[in-house]
Amino acid sequence: MSAPRAVVLLSGGMDSATALAWARHRGHECHTLAIDYGQRHRVELAAARRVSAALGAAAHREVAVDLRAIGGSALTADLPVPHARPESEIGAGVPVTYVPARNTVFLAIALGWAETLGAADLVAGMNALDTSGYPDCRPEFVRAFEALARVGTRAGVEGAAIRVHAPLMELDKAGIVRLGARLGVDFSLTHSCYDPAADGAACGTCDACVLRRKGFREAAVPDPTRYAAAVRT
């Protein structure tokens, strides 16, 4: 019996890499999808390719969607990325790094590819506990999209039990680090920084870097991230 196929959204970050490892561990034949959406931190696309190959995905695809055309985010417009925010402020409100409708667009493309592959499983790395206040990283969003997929696709109306898996939803960053380490994720291949240097080094002070550093510190796992400057951990 062949392994069930899954489309895994892969940003190149630690969360999506761990979600891919989870899907592989569950026995899925994984097809990874990275979205070139005009993001300023485009080094993540190269990271996604590395992670996909290292974790044995059956195929990897990049799809271009120009979200810079609508802007509205520090990741897709000429707006400054916040730095050195206290951890208490991260998650308190929706930050300027939120990209309008990003996860909706990403999951829609993943769903389309899943239909062409005959896959009924989508996997994504959203997590609600240690996030930066993004509304499209909540359980309510994931369940709503799953319901949409079942009524808005041929596969769904013909009876396919389409599932959207968010296996990290209830984990904090330390829990994600521990799970990824157990599943063999090489975190040195991943990239999380919102505002990397020209050579791809992480800034160490944006929200994503703060949460990543916190995760490794609390998990008592060495942080393999290459930072642009010495950062106190």
- What distance in Å separates the CA atoms of residue 188 and residue 51, rounded to the nearest whole number? 10
- Helix (H), strand (E) at residue 64: strand 59-64
> Per-residue pLDDT for 130 more than 70?
no
pLDDT number for residue 63: 98
pLDDT number for residue 202: 96
Find tokens 């308190």 and name the residue. 92
The CA-atom distances, in angstroms, between 149 and each of 51, 108, 162 are 27, 8, 7
56 token code pair: 């044995």
How many C-beta atoms surround the C-beta of residue 105 within 10 A? 17
> Per-residue pLDDT for 157 more than 90?
yes
Identify the CATH number of the domain defined by range 5-219.
Answer: 3.40.50.620
- What distance in Å separates the CA atoms of residue 200 and residue 43, rounded to the nearest whole number? 6
**pLDDT tens-place string over residues 159-173:** 999 999 999 999 999
**pLDDT tens-place string over residues 48-85:** 999 999 999 999 999 999 999 999 999 999 999 999 99
- What is the rounded average pLDDT of the residues 171-197? 97
Whole-number average pLDDT of the chain: 94
pLDDT number for residue 195: 94
Whether the Cβ atoms of residue 180 and residue 18 lie closer than 8 Å to each other: yes
Whether the Cβ atoms of residue 126 and residue 106 lie closer than 8 Å to each other: no
> Per-residue pLDDT for 40 more than 90?
no
